[in-house]
Structure 1
Amino acid sequence: MVNKNKDRSFERIAYRYWEKLVGGILVPGERGYVPSEGEVLCAYNELKERHLECDCIVLRTGTHSGEFYQQGDKIAGVRIVRQLDSVGTIEFRLSTDFHVRLDIEGLSPLSRTEANCDLSQTISNFENFIDNFPRYMEGLERKKLEFEKNNKLEEMAKSGIQATVSQLLTPMGYRWDLVERGRDYLLKVGGHGTWMEFTLNRRNFAKRLAELPDVLGQIEALSKNMTFPMNIEIIK
């Protein structure tokens, strides 16, 4: 019998992958520094000109309406959203703080907020994320292929270990249990009043299982001479 203890979902790997990239967009700035309205507008307009596909909004207070900033208005912040192919969106928002959020299909939203940021470097990082998104997707696909390859190897190793253990121990009348522990397997063998545990992995299982009948026989012979219960631990 084989027990599965590990969550092999690729979602955890994908989440950490995007989390690291999103976490690098906001660059902490000088404590207490707040960019002026002019700096915010300048950065906003430059990004808008370079990335026409972005949905850009100036958040402002005042009596005027419309797209353009007018005299008397006060900037409350900016919001920039970019559709990322057909798989998600990336949003940058500056109001009382700096905030970036990534929504990717199939994953929980990823976000980060900072009280103060280097506006110029943060905007540059935001643009770099947009420009490099196709390359990031290719990198994630390579990680997925590697993940699936390793999973396949693990499944093959597990099947090989399970089949070998069954062929070896069942005819000998032993009860056994094979439990995954990280990248290793714990083999529990019971019979004739004793329980023994052995650690196996896909690199050493063939050699260790070949020696197992002799080891079990020696331990069984030793236990028969015991007149009281005893736990025996052998580390080699």
Structure 2
Amino acid sequence: MVNKNKDRSFERIAYRYWEKLVGGILVPGERGYVPSEGEVLCAYNELKERHLECDCIVLRTGTHSGEFYQQGDKIAGVRIVRQLDSVGTIEFRLSTDFHVRLDIEGLSPLSRTEANCDLTQTISNFENFIDNFPRYMEGLERKKLEFEKNNKLEEMAKGSIRTTVSQILPPLGYRWDLVERGRDYLLKVGGHGTWMEFTLNRRNFSKRLAELPDVLGQIEALSKNMTFPMNIEIIK
């Protein structure tokens, strides 16, 4: 179950990673701007020429058939799809609005739609995404390695905390419980008429646990001098 939760956590990281990249493709244009058929066809043809690997389709109205735009046809839009290695596809579609969609293996589809966009800059960003996709994948792999490294350090820290606490507290007559809270741990300590809680993480647990017997001794001495029970909260 722990590994499954970790996988889900990285899915969220990966989704946000791609979401940011996809979100930067569409560039808002002037309000009310609608590209002409000539502008759309020109941008489409230029991209198709530069990226032969793309599946490019002119969405049009008219009675003609075939691949090429003919006189009398009206452009209803364009659709451009690029296979991204073996892990997914990126699609740009311009019809009544501007739409970009990314399908990546293992993640829910990411999409964004805008009513109007700067056509030239948007097409340029779409091409940049295609050209830089291998680099983006490398960046995601680095994030995954860092994620796995941090998880390993967290597991080592958790094991060290449990081992150290189990060695320190029972001989002193204290009960304890360790609760995970994200990357922090809440240590609950009870005994000798006192009950306290404090947080630990992999950066501070060594120092705090080393000081714990002395701190518990001070708290116990203080509690013996109290004439009535009270709850004390220390905030630093």
TM-score by length of 2: 0.92
Number of residue equivalences: 236
Q: Are the structure 2 counterparts of residues 5 and 109 from structure 1 closer, same or farther at C-alpha, using a change threshold of 3 Å?
A: closer
Deviations 1:73-110 (CA, angstroms, capped at 9, x unpaired): 11110000010000000000000000000000001111
Please give the secondary structure, in 1, of the residue aligned with 2:101: strand
Higher RCO (C-alpha under 8 Å, 6+ residues apart): 1
- Contact 1:6-1:182 at 8 Å conserved across structures: no
Q: 1:5 Cα shift?
A: 10
Partners in 2 of 1:228 and 1:51 — Cα distance?
A: 80
- Contact 1:5-1:180 at 8 Å conserved across structures: no
Please give the secondary structure, in 1, of the residue aligned with 2:5: coil
Structure 2 unpaired stretches of 5+: none
Q: 1:159 Cα shift?
A: 1.2
State the partner residue of 1:233: 233
Moved beyond 6 Å, runs of 4+: 1-8
State the partner residue of 2:221: 221
Deviations 1:176-205 (CA, angstroms, capped at 9, x unpaired): 112233443221101133211122222322
CA-atom RMSD in angstroms: 2.6
Partners in 1 of 2:105 and 2:164 — Cα distance?
A: 42
- Contact 1:78-1:95 at 8 Å conserved across structures: yes
Q: 1:7 Cα shift?
A: 8.3
State the partner residue of 2:51: 51
Q: Are the structure 2 counterparts of residues 27 and 137 from structure 1 closer, same or farther at C-alpha, using a change threshold of 3 Å?
A: same
- Contact 2:173-2:192 at 8 Å conserved across structures: no
Partners in 2 of 1:166 and 1:26 — Cα distance?
A: 56
Q: 1:152 Cα shift?
A: 1.1
- Contact 1:177-1:189 at 8 Å conserved across structures: yes
Please give the secondary structure, in 2, of the residue aligned with 1:232: coil
State the partner residue of 2:32: 32
Partners in 2 of 1:114 and 1:5 — Cα distance?
A: 34
Partners in 1 of 2:49 and 2:4 — Cα distance?
A: 53
- Contact 2:57-2:79 at 8 Å conserved across structures: yes
Partners in 1 of 2:21 and 2:222 — Cα distance?
A: 59
Q: Which stretch of the first structure deviates more once superposed, 223-232 or 189-198?
A: 223-232
- Contact 1:188-1:196 at 8 Å conserved across structures: yes
Q: 1:3 Cα shift?
A: 15
Partners in 1 of 2:147 and 2:5 — Cα distance?
A: 17
Q: Are the structure 2 counterparts of residues 107 and 5 from structure 1 closer, same or farther at C-alpha, using a change threshold of 3 Å?
A: closer
Percent identical among aligned pairs is: 96
Partners in 2 of 1:3 and 1:178 — Cα distance?
A: 20
Q: Are the structure 2 counterparts of residues 226 and 106 from structure 1 closer, same or farther at C-alpha, using a change threshold of 3 Å?
A: same
Partners in 2 of 1:171 and 1:8 — Cα distance?
A: 39
Partners in 1 of 2:235 and 2:66 — Cα distance?
A: 77
Deviations 1:152-180 (CA, angstroms, capped at 9, x unpaired): 11111121111101111123332211223
Partners in 1 of 2:133 and 2:3 — Cα distance?
A: 39
